[in-house]
Chain A
Amino acid sequence: MINVDNLSKFYGSVEAVRGISFDVQEGEIIGFLGPNGAGKSTTMKILTGYMPASSGSAHIAGFDVSQDPLNVQKNLGYLPENNPLYPEMTVKAYLDYSASIKGLTGLEKNRSIGSVIEKCGLANVESRVIGHLSKGYRQRVGLAQALVNDPPVMLLDEPTSGLDPAQIVEIRNLIKDLKGNRTIMLSTHILPEVNMVCDRVVIIHQGRLAASGELDSLADSMNEKNRTFLSVLGQEDNFSNVLKEIDGVENVRLRGMKNGEVHYEVDSAKDLRASLASAVYEKSGKLTEIRKESITLEEIFVKIVSGETGSVEESGDE
């Protein structure tokens, strides 16, 4: 549904986006990640047909964004970064305006407006002036206008920025509900959000594609070692030596001690949770916690951004 091919954008002599390529399949929610200033918003603006690319091409729903912007825009719902709205309009008047400008008329228009008002939970504020609404409601209005023509592709630029935790959860759930067979591209720098909402991530850094793929495969590709975390109650000081002697253990680190509970971190080539647990049991220790630590998105992100790994390409096999 979204095809980006070697896209670049210069602002004067500054190159904001440098030859990015990726594809998004129909029905996918993709997380578009990167630190501030990485070129996320620029890429999105190019995809909406708002801004022309300096070179390269992009297609949405099969239409070229620079050759055929009107058809692209008909298939697109866009929520820009700071969600600009007309403060003097009422919610209903604003949705009526966006629906009309997107070409809806008559009964169809009224039905669509009614359905987005319900979907986005705006029923009790529909006749209020947008300028008087809270930020959470304004964000819903922004989503509602993007959704009003029931577009197959949605681009959401940082939809949860500046909201309080409860509102963030609401907006996230709303986005999950939107999924269906819609293709959604969600730009953010809030990583847990991606874990919860997205099928796949594309990470860009300094205008370049740094990584893309499913979260799990991305984590596997960056995980050189298995890391196991375990907590043991009432053990002697030399227990780390016991752990070291277990076959396959490469490194043991003491992670802390609290109320007689000792935390260890064990590196190994393969998953050793079972042998670790039985070792603790044999030494009559009390195992209070054991878990396999997988690399988090935060760690992947930090590794990429700090340049620890080069370019990691792990394309999904859809």
Chain B
Amino acid sequence: MNSVWVVCKRELSSFFFSPIAYVVLGVWSLFMGGFFSSAFAQYGMISMQLSRNPQLAAQYNITPTSWILSQQVFASVSVTLLFITPLLTMKLFSEEKKQGTMEMLLTYPIKDTQILLGKFFSVVSIYLIMLSILMIYPVLLSTFVRVEWSVIASSFLGIFLMGCSFLSVGLLASSWTSNQIIAAMSAFMILLLSFIVEFLSASAPAMLSAVLRQMSIGLHLKNFVAGIIDTRDIIFFLSLIFVCLFLSLRSLESHRWRG
């Protein structure tokens, strides 16, 4: 476990030496802040209209949590992560392969799984920083109105799991190549595919459509954001993470064989 922490620590310090961590955190804050403020302004207008029409208000049952957070801010997290996570993960293995430090690392008395987990936890740590930035908005909102903390908690669980699965896909892509751009592009394409299947499922035949729907990452987030914690969704994300980490481990081993 100590070795995992040593790898993780080095990885984190290198993130903050390079501009990547600052760019990612900056872009994240900018986007989330933008989504929140525009949703907040829209909600002001909508609630004003609804207060004049109580029947319509009863029909829609809009609350600040459901409208501002669930429907606007949390719903845009997945698309934002689609662009950001490949930037975070692209250097994990690619940079070491390019610099040749990979050879050094693999000759130290450390197991491949420890290397892998150390690297994975380093990007998860940065993701936790991103989530703590995201936490500002519910807290901010709670100073004006009553918010439903249970829904927010389940949303954060879902967003956390989804983010980790994005990161594991990125880690896998980074283990394939010594070129960071290619690593980022492959991760982006795989993640994009998981978004596209949702649209494809609409026009596909019934049998295929059900399968495609279940493969969509965005769809599995929907329950969490609505405040429903479904074991199927949890298992989906956990198994996706597990499969990606397992394949990365294989890829690391093949690096030894190929030299």
* B7/A45 in contact, CB under 8 A: no
Type the 1/0 row for B24-66, where 1 means its CB is closer than 8 Å to any CB of A: 0000000000000000000000000000000000000000000
Does B239 make an interface contact (CB < 8 A)?
A: no
With both chains docked as a complex, state the minimum distance between the C-beta of A43 and any C-beta of chain B, in angstroms: 12
Q: Which residues from B are CB-within-8-Å of A115?
A: none
Does B106 make an interface contact (CB < 8 A)?
A: yes
Type the 1/0 row for A40-55, where 1 means its CB is closer than 8 Å to any CB of B: 0010010011111000
* A100/B2 in contact, CB under 8 A: yes
Q: Which residues from A are CB-within-8-Å of B257?
A: 51-52
With both chains docked as a complex, state the minimum distance between the C-beta of B93 and any C-beta of chain A, in angstroms: 14
Please measure, in the bound complex, the distance between the C-alpha atom of A102 and the C-alpha atom of B108, giving whole angstroms.
6
Does B250 make an interface contact (CB < 8 A)?
A: no
A84: contacting residue among B2, B18, B99, CB under 8 A: B99
Q: Which residues from A are CB-within-8-Å of B6?
A: 97, 100-101
* B101/A85 in contact, CB under 8 A: yes
* B10/A45 in contact, CB under 8 A: no
- Which residues of A, 22-56, contact B by the 8 Å Cβ criterion? 42, 45, 48-52
* B100/A80 in contact, CB under 8 A: yes
Does B125 make an interface contact (CB < 8 A)?
A: no
Q: Which residues from B are CB-within-8-Å of A89?
A: 10, 13-14, 17
Q: Which residues from B are CB-within-8-Å of A165?
A: none
Chain B contact surface mostly = helix
Please measure, in the bound complex, the distance between the C-alpha atom of A102 and the C-alpha atom of B109, giving whole angstroms.
6
Segment of A68-76, A173-181, A190-198 in the binding face:
A68-76
Type the 1/0 row for B1-29, where 1 means its CB is closer than 8 Å to any CB of A: 01100110010011001100000000000
- Which residues of A, 87-109, contact B by the 8 Å Cβ criterion? 87-89, 93, 97-98, 100-103, 105
Does B259 make an interface contact (CB < 8 A)?
A: yes
* A50/B256 in contact, CB under 8 A: yes
Q: Which residues from A are CB-within-8-Å of B10?
A: 86, 89, 97
* Contact residues on A (Cβ < 8 Å of other chain), bracket: 20 to 34
* B14/A86 in contact, CB under 8 A: yes
* A11/B259 in contact, CB under 8 A: yes
Asked, given contacts A51-B256, A88-B17, whether A98 binds B108 with beta carbons under 8 Å apart, the answer is yes
- Which residues of A, 217-237, contact B by the 8 Å Cβ criterion? none
Among A50, A97, A105, residue most surrounded by chain B Cβ atoms (within 10 Å): A50
Asked, given contacts A52-B257, A88-B18, whether A101 binds B108 with beta carbons under 8 Å apart, the answer is yes
Does B203 make an interface contact (CB < 8 A)?
A: no
Asked, given contacts A50-B256, A52-B257, A100-B2, whether A76 binds B107 with beta carbons under 8 Å apart, the answer is yes
Please measure, in the bound complex, the distance between the C-alpha atom of A64 and the C-alpha atom of B108, giving whole angstroms.
16
* B111/A80 in contact, CB under 8 A: no
Q: Which residues from B are CB-within-8-Å of A82?
A: 100
Does B140 make an interface contact (CB < 8 A)?
A: no
Does A301 make an interface contact (CB < 8 A)?
A: no
With both chains docked as a complex, state the minimum distance between the C-beta of A68 and any C-beta of chain B, in angstroms: 11
Q: Which residues from B are CB-within-8-Å of A73?
A: 107-110
Please measure, in the bound complex, the distance between the C-alpha atom of A74 and the C-alpha atom of B7, giving whole angstroms.
17
Asked, given contacts A11-B259, A100-B2, A100-B6, whether A48 binds B100 with beta carbons under 8 Å apart, the answer is no
Please measure, in the bound complex, the distance between the C-alpha atom of A210 and the C-alpha atom of B256, giving whole angstroms.
27
Among A70, A74, A101, A103, residue most surrounded by chain B Cβ atoms (within 10 Å): A101
Does A137 make an interface contact (CB < 8 A)?
A: no
* A74/B109 in contact, CB under 8 A: yes
Please measure, in the bound complex, the distance between the C-alpha atom of A37 and the C-alpha atom of B128, giving whole angstroms.
48
A80: contacting residue among B7, B14, B103, B110, CB under 8 A: B103
Q: Which residues from B are CB-within-8-Å of A49?
A: 107
* A101/B259 in contact, CB under 8 A: no
With both chains docked as a complex, state the minimum distance between the C-beta of A135 and any C-beta of chain B, in angstroms: 15
With both chains docked as a complex, state the minimum distance between the C-beta of B184 and any C-beta of chain A, in angstroms: 19
Q: Which residues from B are CB-within-8-Å of A50?
A: 103, 106-107, 256
Type the 1/0 row for B122-143, where 1 means its CB is closer than 8 Å to any CB of A: 0000000000000000000000
Does B207 make an interface contact (CB < 8 A)?
A: no
B7: contacting residue among A88, A101, A105, A145, CB under 8 A: A101
Please measure, in the bound complex, the distance between the C-alpha atom of A50 and the C-alpha atom of B105, giving whole angstroms.
9
* B14/A45 in contact, CB under 8 A: no
* A45/B103 in contact, CB under 8 A: yes
With both chains docked as a complex, state the minimum distance between the C-beta of B95 and any C-beta of chain A, in angstroms: 9
Does B104 make an interface contact (CB < 8 A)?
A: yes
* B104/A80 in contact, CB under 8 A: yes
B3: contacting residue among A78, A80, A85, A101, CB under 8 A: A101
Please measure, in the bound complex, the distance between the C-alpha atom of A52 and the C-alpha atom of B259, giving whole angstroms.
9
With both chains docked as a complex, state the minimum distance between the C-beta of A77 and any C-beta of chain B, in angstroms: 10
Please measure, in the bound complex, the distance between the C-alpha atom of A74 and the C-alpha atom of B107, giving whole angstroms.
9
Q: Which residues from A are CB-within-8-Å of B259?
A: 11, 42, 45, 51
Q: Which residues from A are CB-within-8-Å of B108?
A: 73, 98, 101-102
Type the 1/0 row for B84-123, where 1 means its CB is closer than 8 Å to any CB of A: 0000000000000001111110111111000000000000
